[in-house]
């Protein structure tokens, strides 16, 4: 170990911590330090059991999040709960899959804490759209294929309105990592194609990235739109669209994974 300083988790504060895509080895040292000191861990469904095993056995666990895609707690309930626990003088660790600020609503929780005058720390995590891809041998960028990677949510915002200009993304000529997109793949694909993306564009469906159950299906945009018309995966799934998908073929023979 070098000169890594373990942070002190002060009572009455909240840590918003990213748990990464699932493999506990992808947690940061700060996340592990927090898990060891926390009095209460408020976690969502995406956080794997393997990660929760690193918590202190004395820590109380509270589930807050979505089950089967349906919210079981409203966002304001969760924020109020974090505030109440902190006001009890507890060390509150809010644990989220991936990175707390990437489609994780960590921003809303941080804002609620700030408004309530509760001090908090953000511990970033490895987001699925980058670390999850790496685990299946798909580099986020490569000089031969792309200058950008778009991280985009396929699921509309809370008010149900999809504000993404998918046609423009189809015209962009750069790969997409689509979170929460499988169930809307047909509609999203049609709009990407309307924007100019060719139907034969390579596509990968990556499920449970970095977990023992990790799975990848490689296909094309057109075939996936047909095949996954009614798909509602219960496991977390990323849809990767673009030439970066093919880069894994040269790596697979030697890639140790997961």
102 in contact with ligand SAH (CB under 6 A): yes
* From 23, 44, 99, 208, the catalytic residue: 44
Q: Does 104 bind ligand SAH (CB under 6 A)?
A: yes
* Among positions 21, 65, 137, 242, the unique one binding ligand SAH when judged by CB under 6 A: 21
Residues in contact with ligand SAH, shown as a per-residue x/- string from 38 to 57 under the rule CB under 6 A:
--------x-----------
Catalytic residue among 36, 39, 162, 180: 180
Q: Give me the 218-247 binding string for ligand SAH, x by CB under 6 A, dash otherwise.
A: ------------------xxx---------
**206 strand-pairing partners:** 216, 238
- Burial environment of residue 70 by CB neighbours within 10 A (0 to 12, 13 to 18, 19 or more): exposed
Applying CB under 6 A, does 208 fall inside the site for ligand SAH?
Answer: yes
Pairwise CA distance, residues 207 & 214, whole Å: 6
Beta carbon nearer to ligand SAH, 51 or 90: 51
The answer to whether 180 contacts ligand SAH (rule: CB under 6 A) is yes
In angstroms, what is the minimal distance from the CB of 26 to ligand SAH?
10
Q: Does 26 bind ligand SAH (CB under 6 A)?
A: no
- Would you count residue 185 as binding ligand SAH (CB under 6 A)? no
Contact footprint for ligand SAH (CB under 6 A):
21-22, 46, 96-99, 102-104, 127-128, 132, 179-180, 206-210, 236-238
List the catalytic residues. Answer: 44, 66, 180
């Amino acid at each position: 170990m070098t000169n890594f300083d373990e942070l002190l988790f002060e009572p009455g504060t909240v840590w918003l911590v990213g748990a990464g895509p699932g493999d506990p080895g992808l947690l940061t040292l700060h996340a592990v330090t927090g898990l060891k000191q926390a009095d209460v861990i408020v976690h969502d469904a995406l956080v794997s059991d393997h990660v929760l095993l690193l918590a202190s056995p004395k820590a109380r666990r509270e589930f807050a999040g979505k089950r089967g895609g349906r919210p079981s707690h409203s966002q304001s309930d969760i924020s109020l709960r974090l505030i109440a626990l902190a006001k009890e003088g507890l060390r509150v660790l809010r644990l989220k899959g991936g990175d707390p600020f990437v489609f994780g609503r960590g921003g809303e929780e941080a804002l609620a804490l700030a408004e309530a005058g509760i001090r908090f720390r953000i511990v970033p995590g490895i987001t699925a759209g980058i670390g999850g891809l790496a685990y299946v041998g798909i580099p986020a960028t490569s000089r031969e294929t792309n200058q950008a990677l778009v991280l985009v949510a396929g699921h509309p915002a809370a008010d149900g309105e999809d504000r993404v200009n998918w046609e423009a993304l189809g015209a962009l000529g750069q790969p997409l990592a689509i979170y929460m997109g499988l169930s809307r793949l047909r509609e999203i694909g049609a709009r990407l194609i309307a924007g100019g993306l060719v139907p034969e564009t390579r596509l990968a469906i990556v499920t449970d990235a970095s977990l023992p159950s990790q799975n990848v299906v490689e296909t094309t945009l057109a075939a996936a739109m047909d095949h996954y018309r009614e798909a509602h995966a219960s496991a977390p799934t990323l849809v990767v669209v673009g030439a970066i998908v093919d880069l894994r073929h040269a790596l697979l023979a030697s890639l140790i994974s997961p």
